[in-house]
Amino acid sequence: MQVQISPLDDIARQYGERLTQLGATKARVVMARAMSYEGAKAFTQVKRDLRKQTDIPRGHIEKGTSFKRAGQADLSTIIKGTGRELSLKEFGARQFNFGTRAKVWGKMQRFPGAFMGPRPGAIALRLGGHVFHRTSASRLPIEKMYGPSIPKEIVKDQAPRAFYDSIPLIAARVGKEIAAALRGY
């Protein structure tokens, strides 16, 4: 999924004269700096919100997300999420008499009938600490249970809001970058 936002109309209305004064090349540099600066702040907030809403461990979020800065040739910033669904093992799963419990999506969740070993407190080495459930009434087959994945969750709830909230800030940042360019930075 790709989200494209174009705050250029507001920027052209506010700073049109100053940008033409700078010239096409410097104006693109100013726009790229402003978009990269605010985009990087939005990226940090998206990662924080993703952690809060899913309880995915921070290391997985750092590995599974990336940020592409705006350049003169391409005036766009991209926040990208990659990876597959994570095993419930990653969310502190514990086995009890009723099944398994893990902290996923911001709260403790119960998974009745799920297991990690032959009895509570005993983890089967063959299962590697993962959480499984039976797919039929018989003993086998069993299926591994998964929690959230970064690509699915990055476009839900709080995470995209952080990105959208940064859009008005880009216009304000362009003014600061124009001032810096006029001072010679």
Summarize pLDDT for 39-66 with one digit per residue, the tens: 999 999 999 999 999 999 999 999 999 9
What are the counts of helices (DSSP H) followed by strands (DSSP E) for the chain? 6, 7
Domain interval for residue 50? 8-84+150-183
Domains held by the chain: number: 2
The dihedrals phi and psi of 4, each to the nearest 5 degrees, come to -120, 130
What residues in the chain have per-residue pLDDT under 70? 1-10, 185
Q: Is 177 left (phi over 0), alpha (psi -120 to 50) or beta?
A: alpha
**Residues 27, 30, 33, 39: what is their CA dihedral angle, to the nearest 10 degrees?**
-80
Q: Is residue 2 part of a domain?
A: no
Q: What is the pLDDT of residue 18?
A: 83
Q: Is residue 3 part of a domain?
A: no
Q: Report helix, strand or coil for 147.
A: coil
Same domain, 13 and 80: yes
Same domain, 13 and 77: yes
Same domain, 58 and 109: no
Same domain, 22 and 79: yes
Q: What is the pLDDT of residue 1?
A: 45
Of 104, 121, 102, nearest in space to 112 by CA: 102
Q: What is the pLDDT of residue 164?
A: 85
Same domain, 50 and 118: no
Q: What is the pLDDT of residue 153?
A: 93
